[in-house]
Structure 1
Amino acid sequence: MGEEAHIRSAQPDGPRYDAGYDAGKLDTYENLLLLCPTHHTLIDKNSGVGFSVANLKEMKASHEQLVTERLGAGEESQRELSERMAALLLVWEQKMHLDQWESVTAQLNPDLADVGYTQMIDAGAWLLKMRWPKQFPRTGQAFRNLHHVMTDLLNHLQSCMETKNEFFWKLRRNYKRIGWDPEAYKALFAEFQSERFSIYVLVIEVTKAINWVIAEAACEVDEFYRFDQGLILMQDGDGVFNTWMMRLEYEPDEVAGENPAPHPGREPIIDFLNDGISGNAHHFEGYNLAALVREVKAL
C-alpha cells in the first residue's frame, strides 16, 4: 500500500525543507514519491538527514527509468498517469482531512472551529483549480460534484455563521436578540431552523460526495484505493450522551448514466426545508434528513 511522501517538506521544521522551492509545486508529482509505510518512515527519520533531496530525486528517476524499460513507452505513460492520479488522491485526502471527518461532522450544534472552517475553505479552493484526466471520467465527475456541494456548504456557512470567539464560529441566532414580539420571534426562529437544517443536509451531501469519489477512484484508478480504510462515516449526536455513526452514499440510480449530477444544488434544498418549516418550525426534528435530497429531486 502506497503512502504519499514529500521530497521537500512543506513545513519549515520538516524533512528536507527548502525555503527557495516553489510553494506551488510542493503537492505536485515533481515533489512526491509513493513509498511503503516502512520506507516513508525511514526517509523522514531524524528530520530526513539520511536522505537528501538529490538522493530521493535520483532514486525516483532510476525507478521510473527501470519501469519504462520493462513496460515500454505506451504502458509507461499509462503507469505514470495512474501514479500521478494516485498521488493527487492522497493530496486530496489531506486537503479534506478525511481522517478527521467524523470529528468535523460532529460539530453540528452548530459551533464550528475556526481551524476547521479554514481547512474547508482551502479544500474548496483546491478543488476549484483542479482539472482531472479524461482517462478517469467517472472519478473526474465525482470530483466536480464534490466541488459543487462544497461550494454550496461554504456559501451557506458564510451567509449564516458569525464569530463566537477567536477560535469558533456559531450559527446566527437573531431570535434571541429581540424583545417581546411573538410574531418576530416566530419568524426569526423559523429562519434559524432553516439555516441549521440546511447545514446538516449539506454536510450529509458532502459526505456522500466524498464517498462517491472514493468508490469511483477504486474502480478507475486503483482497485485497492482505501482498501484498508474504507469509506468515511458521519458522526451524529451530542458527543456526550448520544453518539452514532452513519454510512452515507448515493443510491445507484443517483449516479447512473454518462453525466450524473446527484447534488441538486443549495437552493432547492433550502426551498424544501422552508416549505416544511413555514408550517411548523420543528417539522424536521427527527426527520430522515439523509434521504431528504431524494425527496427534493423527486419534486
Structure 2
Amino acid sequence: MLLLTLVACGEKKSASSSQVVANVDGQEITIHQVNNELAKTGGSQVTKQLLEGLVARQLLVNAAKKDKLDTDPAVLADMERARNLVLAQSYVASKVKAPTRPLDQEIEDLYRKNPDWFAQRKQYEFGQLVIARNNLTPELNALMNQPGKRMDEVAAWLDSHRIQYARQQVVKTSADLPPQMNTSLKTMDRGALFVVLEGQTAILTSLQDVKNAPLSLAVATPQIIQYLVTQKQNQASEQLVERLKGEAKIEYSEQAKSFADLSAPTNGAEASTGKDQAKDPESVNKDVISRGVAGFK
C-alpha cells in the first residue's frame, strides 16, 4: 500500500539541478526527499525501488490534485489530523528520553507475576459463529446455555431461523486474552459454549482444544524488555501530557460532557470476555495518551 506524504502549503521552491533526482510532470523529487524516505523506512542504502516508490507516490498525488481531492473537506480533515499527529509525536520525541534497558530484576518480576503470559501460558483453539448482536435473542442465549449443547446444533438452529452467520476458527494464547476470560477458561471443559460481545457483533464460541504453551524466561526476555520499555515510554508521555494540562486552560462544552466515559461502570452482564465492560482507569488513560501521541491508526 502506498502512503501519501504531506506537503507544506504553497508551491515548493525549485531545487538546484544537482539535488533533483526525478521530475514527475513538473513536480521535482530531490535527493533530500530520497534520504528522508530512506531514514523513515530503516534502509541502509538508496535503491532504484525506493525512488520508484516516491515516483509512484507523486503520480498519485498529482492525480489526486487533478481530481481536486486536495480541496475535499474529508481529505483536508485527514491531512490536518495527520499533521497534528506528526507534530505531537515530534514534540514527545524531543521531550521524552529513550528509556534505559530494564534491570534483570524487573524482567524476572514481570515474568513471575504474569504466569498466564509466560510460565503457565496456554494455547486455546476456538470454533466461532459470528452473528449480528441484535440476533442474540433470549431463545438463542438459552440454547447456548444448555448443558452438552454442541456448536453444530447451534449452527443448525441458526439455519432453521434464517439467521446469517460466518464460521471461523481462532487460535489464541492466554497472553492474548483478558484476565477475566483466562479465569473462566481454566475451569471450562472442551466443547463448552459461551458468547463474546464486541460492539454490534455477537460471537458464539466453542472451546475446542487447550494445549500447554509455556515460555521460558530466556525466550520471553526480549518480549519483556520491549514491554517494559514501551510501558516506561507511555508513563513518560502521560506525565508530559498531565504537565501540559496543568499549564493549559481547557474548557468542555455541554455536548462534550455527555460523551460516554469508558472508565464508568456499566449496567448488567455484558460479554464473558469483559471486553464490553468498563475498562480500568489506568488502561483508559493509556488509550487516551496513545491516541494523542502514538502512530497513525
TM-score (normalised: structure 2):
0.22
The structure where helix makes up a greater share of residues is: 1
Higher RCO (C-alpha 8 Å, min separation 6): 2
